[in-house]
Amino acid sequence: MHIDEVELRLIRLPYRAPFKTSFAEESEKHAVIVTVRSEGVEGYGEGVMDPFPHYREECIAGAWHLLRNAFAPDLLANGCDDPAMLAARWARWRGNPMAKTALELAVWDLHARRLDMPLRTLLGGKRTAIPVGASLGMASIEHTVDNVRRHVEQGYKRVKLKIEPGWDVDLLAAVRAEFSFIELTVDANSAYTLADIDVLRAIDGFGLHYIEQPLHWDDMVEHAHLAELIHTPICLDETLTSPARVKAALDLGACSVVNVKVGRVGGLQAVREIHDLCVQRGVPMWCGGMLETGIGRAHNIHLATMPGFVYPGDTASASRTYARDIVEQPLEAHDGVMPVPDGAGIGVTLDRAFLAEVTEQVEVVRL
């Protein structure tokens, strides 16, 4: 498949409300929307890099440079008959999974649209809807309990709370006092160390489905040690940056639940490899979220139809995050279940008028 051009578009989209985690508080989304064009057909991808490297090391300026000067020129020069081959082709440029993924996703979408089939079909996903959970940012205890109640009433299948030292045991006690029965998880985004073992043991007593990334964002060894000290399963997020890293974490016993974010692991082909490894080893997976716009969210919905995604993911209704999205189709869950968008590719189309309003910068790359 010959690629005619690659468009890079930086957008800024306000959140409905600021989202607070242990590492940052953000009030708007900065996203790179990538469009690839071939013989009148377009495919779309989204980069989940932030302006500054608060989550992993990548940032938008670095990703833009690599997309503009390495990955897009390679794609334009050599075309692509099978998007599953791109990760290996781009392996000579080390790391930078989010930047690679933004373009790889666009090629997958284009490939599926040209074949006139849904992306999920290419990935072996048979489900036409997926169970989803909600991830709640930090707020007061009273507000958080109200927020949990609202999401439980809306039918969300799992509730995840963001925690950090000093914002953990009292919060969990208040939520569990009212909701003893729900599937509850916590995400520390690397806010603890093994010196906090007493608190981590206290958190262990709340019957959590898993605890996500309690320790350093790049660590495996201390997570493996922690896994021997508490009963709650450990789920890794930030640490898992490639199929090889997932295998290493499982071999070490650093986690027993895997959060998959396509941008963090380097693309859909990497997700397929991780998926097959986890299925083979009986390790539950779920699809994490980066507060994506409708392009990234639609990709997440399609990939989460793969059979190994057995836990509810973060791909909740777009309207929780945005007053207005950049795609025309509403991506909304009902009773905790998100329908997969119909149609070819990822099944969504751009709201071009609104996209133009929120665009900061556009560059079209051609040979």
Q: Among all residues, which ones are annotated catalytic?
A: 162, 261
- Check residue 50 for interaction with Mg ion (CB under 5 A): no
Binding mask 197-226 toward Mg ion (x if CB under 5 A, else -) reads ---------------x--------------
Region from 38-46, 157-165, 232-240, 311-319 binding Mg ion, contact rule CB under 5 A? 232-240
d(CA 216, CA 359): 35
Identify the bridge partners of residue 10 per DSSP, sorted by sequence position.
32, 361
Nearer to Mg ion, 214 or 294 (CB): 214
- For the CB of residue 358, give the shortest distance to Mg ion in the complex, in Å: 26
- For the CB of residue 261, give the shortest distance to Mg ion in the complex, in Å: 8
> Taking Cα atoms as reference points, which of 107, 108, 72 lies closest to residue 90?
72
Nearer to Mg ion, 106 or 287 (CB): 287
Region from 11-19, 187-195, 278-286, 300-308 binding Mg ion, contact rule CB under 5 A? 187-195
> Taking Cα atoms as reference points, which of 292, 274, 291 lies closest to residue 283?
274
- For the CB of residue 108, give the shortest distance to Mg ion in the complex, in Å: 24
Q: How many residues bind Mg ion (CB under 5 A)?
A: 3
- Check residue 187 for interaction with Mg ion (CB under 5 A): yes
Residues 6 or more apart whose CB falls under 8 angstroms from that of 231 comprise 204
What phi and psi, each to the nearest 5 degrees, are found at residue 139?
-150, -175
- For the CB of residue 237, give the shortest distance to Mg ion in the complex, in Å: 4
Nearer to Mg ion, 243 or 288 (CB): 288
Nearer to Mg ion, 46 or 237 (CB): 237
Adjacency order of strands within the sheet including 285-287: 134-136, 159-162, 184-187, 211-212, 234-236, 257-260, 285-287
Nearer to Mg ion, 122 or 236 (CB): 236
Burial class (CB in 10 A: 0-12, 13-18, 19+), 280: exposed
- For the CB of residue 212, give the shortest distance to Mg ion in the complex, in Å: 5
Contact in structure between 107 and 79 (CB atoms under 8 Å): no
79-82 CB contacts, 8 Å cutoff, 24+ apart = 79/1, 79/2, 79/3, 80/1, 80/3, 80/107, 80/111, 81/1, 82/111
- Check residue 237 for interaction with Mg ion (CB under 5 A): yes
| Contact footprint for Mg ion (CB under 5 A) | 187, 212, 237
